[in-house]
Structure 1
Amino acid sequence: MKSFRSPDRWAVCLLAACLVGLVCYPASGQDTDQLTRLYTPLLDTEIDSWPVDPAMSRSQEQEIWSRLFQTYTPRRSVVSLQRWIRDVAPLCRIEIDRDGLESIGLTLDTPLEFDVDAPPSPLIVSAMIALEPLDCVIQIQNGVTRLTCGYAADESLSVRVYDVSGIISKTSHSTRRPALYQLMETIQTTVDPESWEELGGTATIRPQSSRRGELLCIAATTQTHWKVLVLLDRFHRINNGVPDRNDVHDRPFANASSQLRTTGVPVNDRASYLGKLPRFRPQ
């Protein structure tokens, strides 16, 4: 069966950039007690969302996410799929969808390639980059982290509910519904556009009103959900003036006078000024 998605390297790198912050500690080895974590926007979202899964609570899901985002340094440049699964087991247990992999001609001996000279990155980011050429993805369902092929993930979507009230809360009551539909359109045209039902894919998105506010119910693959969550969190932060934890280091200044007025430091001295600021350090 043909996959609805045709992932390419720029899309994987874009997701990696969305998921990983810029401030980190270097890895000190693969012992889980010594591992540090990179700053990850996905684990620090302001927007509320919940998995709709009969066998997994939100706290269980968060634990899986936390494991997947532990710092990982590949030990070998080329390793078989089966050996890699064993190597990362202390960080996160990953099951293999053998039927799905065999359907696209892959076996447990299929090699994965890693850049051992690259800076440390979260386990999931290294995995996505290595798996992308094979058209394989990571899927989380029923409390299980599974490695499967792209089309199998497209046929077994995860459902998630997002509270987007904070994004459209400042619109009038008469324009709230149109704003919700505009948000849906933005999601479908910017996040994996080819995966959505309207363009021949399988992912769906529907609005739902509740006493809590405006909700979106989305059925999509795990990796698409991650992109949607980061996008919605960005909209929420912009709409409500909530900065990122390390936003002060990346906030651009329009001109010299605005920087001097904001920080009291001239443009030419910005680098030394930022170097003296306290940096966010994950625990």
Structure 2
Amino acid sequence: MDQDLVDAALAAAEQHGKDVADVPLNAIAAAAGISRSTLIRRLGGSRARLDEAVRQAGIDPGGRPPVRERAIEAAATLIPRDGLGSVTLEAVAAAAHCSPTSLHAVFGSRDGLLAAMFDRYVPVPDLEALAADPPERIEDLVHAVYAALAEAFAQEPRVLPAIFGDLFTRPDGTAARMLKANLPRMVASLGALLTVQIQAGRLRPLPLPLLIQLMIGPMAGHMLLRPVLQDSLGNALPPVDEAARTFAEAFLRATAP
């Protein structure tokens, strides 16, 4: 197999953010500067020869997760370890075993990559799903919100605590931009859930921004501090689910009509 075809296949894979085996032949032909029919003829009618040549060059032509998934996971691993500022396209590309060019093709920019990673590790999608199909009982609703918060803060890698850490140290930094961009979605989902409960007479008609803050603030603060509290208090610290129930009950008592 000619090396120029292997090089063209690798270049097309990076450009499209895909494994070689998933790149269309016409894209490989374009990268090689030849027609698709010429490429097929040089491959002897089968792309299996190309995949095998790529494999012999020491590169897996397929079977790995797509570049998008690898990049999001790589960024999520870098943030808790090195901070949000460490998430450059070059650093993520090295950790995800791809090129910065492929990241540009998939995400458009560093902010695009961070937005995709943010959406994966914050509870906003879970809250939107909850707003689309809310429980009937307000007790179940509040417990579900607290469970989503607890899971988002506790899941590994610990992206959400790292984002808050960046926010506290750099109020005008990247984390602040990400949070501001997602705040309307969170307010919309929680606002819709709470407005229904206010209209049904189950909650006091407090201003929504304050009601939302009263709802999520204690649980978010507890989850941010929990690793330190766990080290200091050990078994005296209640389990997460028990803490969530306690905060949920306190919220319901504080906001009852």
Q: TM-score, normalised by structure 1?
A: 0.25
Give the structure with the higher percent strand: 1
Structure possessing the higher relative contact order (Cα contacts under 8 Å, 6 or more residues apart): 1
As a proportion of its length, which structure holds more helix?
A: 2
Pair member with larger Rg: 2
